[in-house]
C-alpha cells in the first residue's frame, strides 16, 4: 500500500524570503546570523531614540530662562513658581546702591534653555554696608587717610583751622564725626590745624572779579589792596581784575599788600 504525502508536506515553500534567500544557501546563512540581528538593532535604536529617550529627557519641553537680575527675590518668586522652577541662594554680597534682597546674578544666565524643575542659583544683595567712622583726631593727614581706607571709607575735603595750642598739621576733627555710621565708600572730610593763626594767611584768586569784590575778599583774608594799575582792555568790562601780584594759594604774612591790574576802556 502506497502512503501518500499530505498536502502540507508536499506544498513548496514559495515565500518571498525563501525566494531571495534559498534554504541552505550561503546568503541565507549570512542573513540569518548577521542581517536580521542588525535590522533588529536598528529598530531598537529607533524606538529608544525616537520614543523612549524623549519621554525620559522630556525633549522638546525646554523654554528660555527669563532674566531675574535687578529684581527683588520676593518678586522673582512668582515668576519662578509659574514656570515650575526651583531656586536657591548661592551667596549674598554687600552691594552699594542695591536694596537688600535684590538679585545681583543668576545661574544659568538669562536666555538659557531650561526645563521644568530646574534649580536656578541666585546671588543676592545684603544691601549697603555701613561703616563706623574711626577716631582720627591727633593723626597726620596721611595716617588719617590710611585709616579711612582700611575702614572702607575715602578721604574727602580738607579744611584748615588755625590754632596756637594744637600741634601743626594734625587732624582736629572729622565731619561727620567719629562714631557715626555711614555707607561704605563714603567720603569723610577733615579739619586740620595749619599752625599759628597770627602769622600768615593764603592768597585767594581775585582775577576776573570786579575791583570792589576783589578788595572785599582780600581784606577778608587779612590782606591789603596795594597799588592798583589800570590797563586798557576792551575784552573785559571796566574795573575787572586782570592780574594779581601773588598767585592763588600762596602763603603770605597777614596784612601783606596785594597789587592789582584792572581793566579800563579809556
What is the residue extent of each domain of the chain? 16-57, 63-127, 131-193, 200-264
214-263 confidence digits (pLDDT tens): 999 999 888 999 999 999 998 899 999 999 999 988 888 888 999 999 99
Cβ-based neighbour number of residue 93 at 10 Å: 13
* pTM for the full predicted model: 0.41
Question: Looking at domain 200-264, does it have CATH number 3.40.462.20?
Answer: no
* The CATH fold of domain 63-127: Trypsin Inhibitor V; Chain A (3.30.10)
36-70 confidence digits (pLDDT tens): 666 777 777 776 666 655 555 555 578 899 999 99
d(CA 194, CA 251): 11
Please, how many CA atoms are within 13 Å of residue 263, restricted to the half-sphere of its CB? Answer: 15
Query: If DSSP codes are grouped into helix, strand and coil, which group holds residue 188?
Result: strand
* The CATH fold of domain 131-193: Trypsin Inhibitor V; Chain A (3.30.10)
200-264: same fold as 131-193?
yes
pLDDT at 11 over 50: no
Amino acid at each position: 500500500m502506497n502512503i501518500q504525502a499530505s498536502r502540507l508536506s508536499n506544498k513548496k515553500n514559495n515565500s518571498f524570503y525563501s525566494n531571495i534567500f534559498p534554504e541552505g544557501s550561503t546568503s541565507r546563512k549570512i542573513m540569518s546570523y548577521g542581517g536580521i540581528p542588525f535590522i533588529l538593532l536598528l529598530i531598537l535604536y529607533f524606538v529608544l531614540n525616537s520614543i523612549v529617550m524623549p519621554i525620559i529627557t522630556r525633549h522638546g519641553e525646554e523654554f528660555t530662562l527669563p532674566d531675574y537680575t535687578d529684581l527683588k527675590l520676593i518678586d522673582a518668586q512668582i515668576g519662578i513658581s509659574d514656570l515650575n522652577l526651583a531656586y536657591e541662594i548661592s551667596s549674598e554680597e554687600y552691594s552699594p546702591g542695591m536694596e537688600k534682597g535684590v538679585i545681583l546674578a543668576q545661574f544659568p544666565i538669562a536666555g538659557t534653555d531650561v526645563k521644568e524643575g530646574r534649580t536656578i542659583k541666585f546671588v543676592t544683595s545684603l544691601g549697603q554696608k555701613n561703616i563706623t567712622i574711626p577716631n582720627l583726631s591727633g593723626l597726620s593727614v596721611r595716617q588719617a587717610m590710611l585709616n579711612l581706607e582700611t575702614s572702607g571709607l575715602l578721604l574727602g575735603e580738607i579744611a584748615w583751622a588755625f590754632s596756637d595750642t594744637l600741634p601743626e598739621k594734625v587732624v582736629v576733627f572729622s565731619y561727620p564725626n567719629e562714631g557715626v555710621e555711614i555707607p561704605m565708600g563714603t567720603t569723610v572730610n577733615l579739619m586740620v590745624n595749619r599752625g599759628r593763626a597770627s602769622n600768615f594767611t593764603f592768597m585767594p584768586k581775585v582775577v576776573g572779579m570786579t575791583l570792589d569784590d576783589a578788595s572785599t575778599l582780600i581784606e577778608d583774608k587779612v590782606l591789603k589792596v596795594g597799588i592798583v594799575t589800570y590797563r586798557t582792555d576792551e575784552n573785559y568790562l571796566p574795573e575787572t581784575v586782570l592780574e594779581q601780584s601773588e598767585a592763588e594759594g600762596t602763603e603770605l604774612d597777614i596784612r601783606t599788600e596785594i597789587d592789582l591790574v584792572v581793566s579800563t576802556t579809556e
